Amino acid sequence: MAETTELLRFLGEAVTPFHAVEAMPQRLSAAGFIQAEQFDGADLVPGQGYFVTRQGSSLIAMRAGQAAPAVGLRLVGTHTDSPNLSIRPNPVSGRDGRVQLGVDVYGGALLNPWFDRDLGVAGRVTLLADGDELESVLFDTNRPVAVVPSLAIHIGPITATETGIATTDIGVPTLGMHSMRELACAADVPQMISLIEAFYRRLA
Residue 193 belongs to some domain of the structure: yes
Question: Does residue 51 sit in the same domain as residue 124?
Answer: no
Q: Is residue 76 part of a domain?
A: no
Q: Are residues 171 and 115 in the same domain?
A: yes
- 51 and 96 fall within a common domain: no
Indicate if the pLDDT at residue 49 is higher than 80.
yes
Q: Are residues 67 and 90 in the same domain?
A: no
Q: Is residue 79 part of a domain?
A: no
- Do both 101 and 176 map to the same domain? yes
Domain containing 53: what range? 2-71
C-beta atoms surrounding 19 within 10 Å: 20
pLDDT, average across residues 178-184 = 51
Which stretches does DSSP call E strand in the chain? Answer: 34-35, 49-54, 58-63, 84-95, 98-106, 122-128, 134-140, 146-147, 174-175
Q: Do 67 and 135 lie in a common domain? A: no
Question: How confident is the model over 68-125, as pLDDT tens digits?
Answer: 878 888 888 888 888 899 998 888 887 777 788 888 888 888 888 888 889 999 999 9
Tell me: do 67 and 93 sit in the same domain: no
How many domains are there within the chain?
2
Task: Tell me, yes or no, whether 115 and 180 share the same domain.
Answer: yes
Q: Give a yes or no: residue 78 inside a domain.
A: no
b/e sequence 126-149, b meaning 16+ C-beta within 10 Å: eeeeeeeeeeeeeeeeeeebbbbe
Tell me if 55 is assigned to some domain.
yes
pLDDT at residue 160 greater than cutoff 50: no
**115: domain CATH number?**
2.30.250.10
